[in-house]
Amino acid sequence: MSRSIALVDCNNFYVSCEQVFNPKLKGKPVVVLSNNDGCAVARSDEAKALGIKMGQPWFQFKKLARKHGVIAYSSNYTLYADMSNRVMNILSEFSPNQEVYSIDECFLDLTGSCRCNLTDHVQKIRKRIRQQTGLPVCIGIGASKTLAKLANYIAKKNSQFQHVCDLNAMTILEQNRWLHKIKIGKVWGVGKQLVPKLRQIGIYNALDLKHANPEILNLRFSVLLKKTVYELNNVICIELEEMAAPKKQIIYSRSFGVLVTSLERLEQSVALYVSRAAGKLRQQNSYAGSIHVYIRTSPFNKKESCYANSITIPLPEQINDTLALMRIASWGLRKIYHSGYKYQKAGVMLSKLVSSEECQPDLFSKKKVRSKSTNLMMVLDQVNALMGRKMLAIAAEGITQPWKIKQNNRSPRYTTSWDDLITVNQFNVGECWAGVKSP
Catalytic residue list: 105
Task: Please check whether residue 123 is in contact with residue 162, taking contact to mean a CB–CB distance below 8 angstroms.
Answer: yes
Cα 386 to Cα 29, 174, 272, 392, 420: the distances in Å are 38, 52, 20, 11, 19
Distance, in Å, from the CA atom of 352 to the CA atom of 287, rounded to the nearest integer, reads 8
CB 87, CB 106: distance < 8 Å: yes
| Nearest by Cα to 61 from 74, 47, 73, 75 | 47
Alpha helices in 260-366 (DSSP H): 263-283, 322-336
HSE on the CB side for 436, CA within 13 Å?
15
Show Cβ contacts of residue 94 under 8 Å, excluding neighbours closer than 6 positions: 108, 110, 113, 125
Burial of 49 (0-12, 13-18, 19+ CB in 10 A): exposed
- Residue 250 to residue 263: CA distance in whole angstroms: 24
Could you tell me which residues come within 8 angstroms of residue 277 by beta carbon, excluding any fewer than 6 positions away? 250, 251, 252, 325, 348, 349, 350
Beta-bridge partner residues of 434: 424
Three-class secondary structure of residue 258 per DSSP: strand
- Please name the residue ranges forming H helices in 284-362: 322-336
